[in-house]
């Protein structure tokens, strides 16, 4: 037991207290378990439904934390820390002292808290991020108060002119009243400007943090979840942050902030005219009830086809070549025109109802002013109030109905924001690959053994399994071919060995350790993986290969491309590693060139474990020979698992795994009597003709 284990328990108790989880903290104190280690911490956080991530000190997203977190260095005492602005502070003897977390080395575990348990009392993730920008509340409050007070200037000025200057026959006081009014108006304008600036910068910072967090979590979510949810949903998540920004920095945000300050205008009316204040109060209630019904009527007509309309556009963009090749685009055009028409019809109806909404809101405001005048006239006639006071009251009515109108007309945006906030909270609760404590790092000194233990994997709960009870052992340094008909699960097998797909039953081990024990980032950095589809990113050839090894030299990149069989590709581009792959002249880079890049990314790592999905799509004989030589040279030094339909390549393998409908039908060395030529394999039943 290390000294750290002894001190970790009180720290976890303190962390729970810092998070406001007092009951849970006292439960921990009474808990019989005394010795905590990082694994205990991870288990406890999970048990208490606290969403967390395990990060390294160099992780930039530490800057986005909103809750205190636990830092567990390998060779130093653990401590609780929190972000304070751009810096960090550590809790020491109940005092927060500044600390530089980035100085700690990468063997440190940082348990950051993403979401608190989902109880009514807990602060949800969005609200926690919103309150992170605490500084905005105070200036917005004071600026709004000041602008509401100075907003009374014009009505009061008018009252003074009417009652004192005209009624009191005292034109000499006009300049001083005018000066006071001007001063108040200039304060009003400056406070409005300053408040708009604070709201814009707060909402921008909030949107930036939310986008970064969303992007970060998307990067770390399990592949299965990502592919199930679909790309359009991820884009919608990224847009949520934008929606929040637009609403808060737009007029709706200002209206919302102003709403509580309408009380000032109500008090002023009460002060000037006594019970006349009941008129605007009654009208506000009526306003609320009428607008609630009208808003429901408007919402019932919200367009529903805009999503399909967008999908039709992206489908068109994706299938443009097929459409052009087919020559007949009439069907598509008719379908699209139908969608366009329906989209326009729905938008028209929605706009019409929105117009009705605006008209009713405006009429209610006018109506409120009129009723105030009519009622107020009786007070003037029996001399309860002055005519100037009545005029001022009518002017102030606008300061009440204005924000109310703004808040109601933004109702749809608030509903959208509410949905976005709830979605964000749910998204933050979904576990990522970092919600597990994975401590092990792979041994890079030698080729590993790989073992699939009863692996069963389904992409969808109701579908057939892509892998079904796969049970195979691969020895260190073996060259293994995974073969079988299309869709039999070859790619899925490689992805499960890479650890990006997790089996629902069974597990994969590398060097005898369950993949779930390995630090995901270190493990994937260590493995060389090449997917079957070319993945080219915007940028140069060198940048594309350096994705796998950022510090690779130009010579290393060229050597990796040659080893992948791309010598002729290099010659065709004059060995220029700086060509822009998706630039104007290279945008149509053939798939085969993309596959050299994929393969070069895997080979440049000189990893002891290589997972190559279809490394030979359509090669010319020289490049095929080059790749075969590369794979043969790797035998004994690296464990290589590849999928292929190419007989010449399969023949080189020490072992073949034949899959059929996700199940292993043969695993072992190629039998001596197996057919070798493609023509033979096409005709005969054999392990290698899959």
Ligand X SMILES: Nc1ncnc2c1ncn2[C@@H]1O[C@H](COP(=O)(O)OP(=O)(O)OP(=O)(O)O)[C@@H](O)[C@H]1O
How many residues in total does the chain contain? Answer: 690
Does position 462 interact with ligand X (CB under 6 A)? The reply is: no
Pattern 177-216, binding to ligand X, x per CB under 6 A?
Answer: ----------------------------------------
Q: Is 591 in the site for ligand X (CB under 6 A)?
A: no
Q: Distance between CA atoms of 338 and 345, rounded to whole angstroms? A: 11
- Say if CB 87 and CB 98 are below 8 A apart: yes
First to last CA, the chain: 53
Contact between 612 and ligand X by CB under 6 A: the answer reads no
- Site membership for ligand X, residue 233 (CB under 6 A): no
Among residues 83 and 490, whose Cβ is nearest to ligand X?
490
Instruction: Determine the interface stretch with ligand X among 86-94, 313-321, 483-491, 597-605 (rule: CB under 6 A).
Output: 483-491
Nearer to ligand X, 187 or 226 (CB): 226
**618 interacts with ligand X by CB under 6 A:** no
CA dist 346 → 303, 312, 335, 552 (Å): 5, 17, 17, 55
C-alpha closest to that of 613 among 534, 667, 558, 556: 534
Q: Token pair 């751009």 is at which residue?
A: 86
Q: How many residues bind ligand X (CB under 6 A)?
A: 12
Burial of 421 (0-12, 13-18, 19+ CB in 10 A): buried
Please state, in angstroms and rounded to a whole number, the distance separating the CA atoms of residues 569 and 573.
Answer: 7
489 touches ligand X by CB under 6 A = yes
Site for ligand X in 280-309 (CB under 6 A): none
CB of 347 to ligand X, least distance (A): 34
- Closest distance between ligand X and the C-beta of residue 532, in Å? 6
656 in contact with ligand X (CB under 6 A): no
Q: Residue 614 CB, nearest distance to ligand X (Å)?
A: 7
Question: Residues 93, 94, 95, 486: which binds ligand X (CB under 6 A)?
Answer: 486
Rounded to the nearest whole angstrom, what is the least distance from the CB of residue 66 to ligand X in the complex?
Answer: 34
Cβ neighbour number for residue 10 with a 10 Å cutoff: 12
Per-residue b or e along 433-467, where b marks 16 or more CB atoms closer than 10 Å to that residue's CB: bbbbbbebebeeeebbbbbbbebbbbeeeeeebbb
If the CB atoms of residues 168 and 230 are measured against ligand X, the closer one turns out to be: 230
Tell me whether residue 223 or residue 522 sits nearer to ligand X (CB atom). 223
| CA–CA distance, 384 with 658 (Å, rounded to integer) | 98
595 belongs to the binding site for ligand X (CB under 6 A): no
CB of 450 within 8 A of CB of 508? yes
Nearest 5 degrees, angle CA 564-CA 570-CA 575? 135
How far, CA to CA in Å, does 471 sit from each of 199, 518, 663?
59, 21, 9
Of 491, 626, 630, 647, the one binding ligand X by CB under 6 A? 491
Kindly identify the residues of this chain, within the stretch 515-534, that bind ligand X according to CB under 6 A. Answer: 532
Contact in structure between 151 and 190 (CB atoms under 8 Å): no
Q: Which of 161, 165, 188, 171 is nearest to 391 (CA)?
A: 161
Q: Name the minimum Å distance from CB 457 to ligand X.
A: 9
Q: How far apart are CA 137 and CA 149, in angstroms?
A: 18
Q: Are 221 and 433 in contact (CB under 8 A)?
A: yes
Nearer to ligand X, 227 or 572 (CB): 227
Least distance (Å) from ligand X to the CB of residue 464? Answer: 7
User: Which residue's CB is nearer to ligand X, number 490 or number 549?
Assistant: 490
Q: Do 646 and 616 form a contact (C-beta atoms < 8 A)?
A: yes
Instruction: Give me the least distance between CB of 608 and ligand X, in Å please.
Output: 24
* Cβ-based neighbour number of residue 471 at 10 Å: 13
Q: Which CB atom, from 356 or from 487, has the smaller least distance to ligand X?
A: 487
CB 228 to ligand X: min, Å: 7
**Binds ligand X by CB under 6 A, chosen from 227, 344, 553, 572:** 227
Minimum Å gap between C-beta 496 and ligand X is: 9
Which candidate, 258, 282, 257, places its Cα nearest to that of 269?
282
| Contact between 658 and ligand X per CB under 6 A | no
Identify the CA nearest to 413 among candidates 211, 256, 288, 197. Answer: 256
Binding segment (CB under 6 A) for ligand X, from list 78-86, 170-178, 479-487, 646-654: 479-487
Residue with smaller CB distance to ligand X, 491 or 626: 491
CB of 497 to ligand X, least distance (A): 12
Residue number, 378 or 459, with CB nearest to ligand X: 459
Examine residue 492 and tell whether it contacts ligand X (CB under 6 A).
Answer: yes
- Should residue 382 be labelled a site residue for ligand X when binding is judged by CB under 6 A? no
Distance, CA of 161 to CA of 281 (rounded, Å): 27
Contacting residue, 195, 399, 411, 490, with ligand X by CB under 6 A: 490
Report DSSP letters for 2-47, one per residue.
-HHHHHHHHHHHHHHHHTT-HHHHHHHHH-S-----HHHHHHHHHH
User: Which region, judged by CB under 6 A, interacts with ligand X, from 77-85, 488-496, 620-628, 633-641?
Assistant: 488-496
Which among 274, 281, 282 has a CA at the least distance from the CA of 384?
274
Q: Which two tokens stand for residue 583?
A: 């630039």
What does each C-alpha distance from 677 to 110, 344, 482, 630, 641 come to in angstroms?
Answer: 56, 61, 18, 22, 22
Backbone angles phi, psi at 484, to 5 degrees: 150, 170
CB of 344 to ligand X, least distance (A): 35
Pick between residue 496 and residue 652 the one whose CB is nearest to ligand X: 496
Per-residue mark of binding to ligand X, 659-688 (x: CB under 6 A): ------------------------------
User: Toward ligand X, which CB reaches closer, 382 or 486?
Assistant: 486
Strands, E, within 458-608: which ranges?
Answer: 467-474, 479-483, 505-510, 513-514, 528-530
Out of 466, 563, 628, 649, the residue judged to bind ligand X by CB under 6 A: 466
In the bound state with ligand X, the residue whose beta carbon lies nearer, of 484 and 566, is 484
Stretch of 159-167, 376-384, 489-497, 588-596 contacting ligand X, by CB under 6 A: 489-497
Closest distance to ligand X from the beta carbon of 690 (Å): 9
Tell me the three-class secondary structure of 192-259, residue by residue: HHHHHHHHHHHHHHHHHHHHHHHHHHHHHCCHHHHHHHCHHHHHHHHHHHHHHHHHHHCHHHHHHHHH
- The answer to whether 615 contacts ligand X (rule: CB under 6 A) is no
Asked if residue 487 binds ligand X (CB under 6 A), the reply is yes
CB of 23 to ligand X, least distance (A): 42
Beta bridge partners of 663: 660
Choosing from 110, 488, 498, 631, the residue that interacts with ligand X (CB under 6 A) is 488
Smallest distance, ligand X to C-beta of residue 486, A: 4
To ligand X, the closest distance from the beta carbon of 498 in angstroms equals: 13
Q: Per rule CB under 6 A, is residue 459 in the interface with ligand X?
A: yes
Contact residues toward ligand X (CB under 6 A) are 227, 459, 466, 484, 486-492, 532
């Amino acid at each position: 037991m290390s000294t750290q284990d002894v001190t970790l328990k009180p720290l976890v108790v303190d962390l729970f207290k810092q998070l406001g989880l007092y009951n849970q903290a006292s439960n921990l104190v009474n808990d019989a378990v005394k010795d905590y280690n990082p694994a205990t911490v991870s288990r406890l956080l999970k048990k208490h439904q606290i969403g967390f991530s395990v990060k390294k000190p160099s992780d930039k997203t530490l800057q986005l934390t909103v809750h205190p977190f636990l830092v567990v260095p390998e060779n130093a005492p653990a401590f609780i820390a929190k972000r304070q602005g751009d810096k960090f502070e550590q809790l020491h003897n109940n005092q927060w002292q500044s600390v530089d977390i980035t100085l700690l080395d990468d063997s440190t575990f940082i348990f950051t808290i993403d979401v608190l348990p989902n109880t009514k009392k807990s602060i949800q993730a969005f609200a926690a991020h919103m309150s992170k920008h605490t500084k905005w509340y105070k200036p917005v409050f004071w600026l709004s108060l000041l602008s509401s007070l100075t907003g009374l200037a014009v009505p009061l000025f008018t009252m003074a002119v009417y009652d004192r200057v005209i009624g009191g026959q005292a034109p000499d006081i006009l300049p001083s009243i005018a000066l006071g009014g001007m001063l108040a108006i200039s304060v009003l304008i400056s406070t409005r400007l300053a408040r708009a600036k604070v709201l814009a910068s707060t909402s921008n910072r909030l949107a930036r943090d939310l986008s970064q967090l969303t992007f970060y979590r998307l990067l770390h979510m399990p592949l299965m979840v990502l592919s199930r949810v679909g790309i359009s949903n991820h884009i919608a998540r990224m847009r949520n942050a934008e929606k929040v920004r637009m609403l808060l920095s737009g007029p709706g945000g200002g209206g919302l902030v102003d709403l509580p300050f309408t009380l000032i205008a109500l008090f002023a009316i009460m002060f000037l005219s006594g019970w006349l204040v009941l008129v605007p109060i009654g009208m506000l209630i009526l306003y609320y009830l009428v607008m609630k019904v009208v808003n429901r009527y408007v919402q019932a007509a919200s367009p529903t086809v805009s999503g399909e309309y967008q999908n039709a556009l992206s489908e068109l963009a994706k299938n443009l070549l097929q459409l052009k090749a087919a020559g007949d685009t009439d069907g598509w055009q008719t379908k699209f025109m139908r969608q366009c028409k329906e989209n326009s019809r729905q938008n028209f109806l929605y706009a019409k109802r929105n117009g009705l909404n605006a008209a009713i809101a405006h009429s209610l405001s006018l109506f409120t002013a009129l009723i105030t005048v009519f009622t107020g006239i009786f007070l003037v006639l029996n001399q309860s109030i002055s005519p100037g006071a009545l005029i001022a009251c009518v002017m102030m009515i606008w300061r009440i109905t204005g924000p109310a109108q703004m808040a109601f007309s933004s109702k749809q945006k608030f509903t959208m924001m509410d949905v976005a906030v709830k979605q964000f909270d749910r998204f933050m609760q979904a576990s990522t690959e970092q919600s597990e404590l994975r401590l092990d790092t792979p041994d890079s000194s030698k080729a590993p053994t790989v073992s699939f233990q009863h692996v069963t994997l389904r992409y969808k709960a109701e579908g057939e399994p892509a892998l079904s009870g796969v049970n195979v052992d691969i020895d260190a340094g073996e060259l293994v071919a995974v073969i079988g008909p299309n869709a039999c699960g070859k790619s899925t097998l490689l992805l499960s060995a890479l650890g990006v797909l997790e089996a629902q039953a069974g597990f994969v081990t590398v060097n005898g350790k369950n993949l779930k024990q390995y630090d995901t980032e270190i493990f994937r950095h260590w493995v060389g993986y090449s997917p079957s589809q070319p993945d080219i990113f915007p940028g140069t050839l060198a940048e594309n290969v350096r994705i796998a090894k950022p510090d690779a030299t130009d010579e290393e990149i060229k050597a990796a491309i040659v080893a992948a069989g791309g010598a002729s590709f290099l010659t065709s581009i004059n060995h220029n590693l700086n060509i822009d792959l998706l630039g104007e002249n290279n945008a149509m880079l053939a798939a085969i060139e993309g596959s050299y890049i994929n393969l070069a990314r895997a080979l440049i790592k000189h990893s002891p474990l290589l997972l190559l999905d279809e490394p030979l799509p359509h090669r010319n004989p020289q490049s095929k020979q080059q790749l075969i030589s590369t794979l043969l040279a790797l035998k004994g030094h690296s464990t290589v698992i590849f999928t292929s339909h190419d007989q010449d390549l399969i023949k080189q393998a020490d072992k073949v795994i034949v899959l059929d409908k996700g199940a292993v039908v043969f695993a072992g060395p190629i039998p001596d009597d197996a057919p070798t030529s493609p023509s033979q394999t096409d005709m005969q039943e054999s392990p290698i003709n899959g």
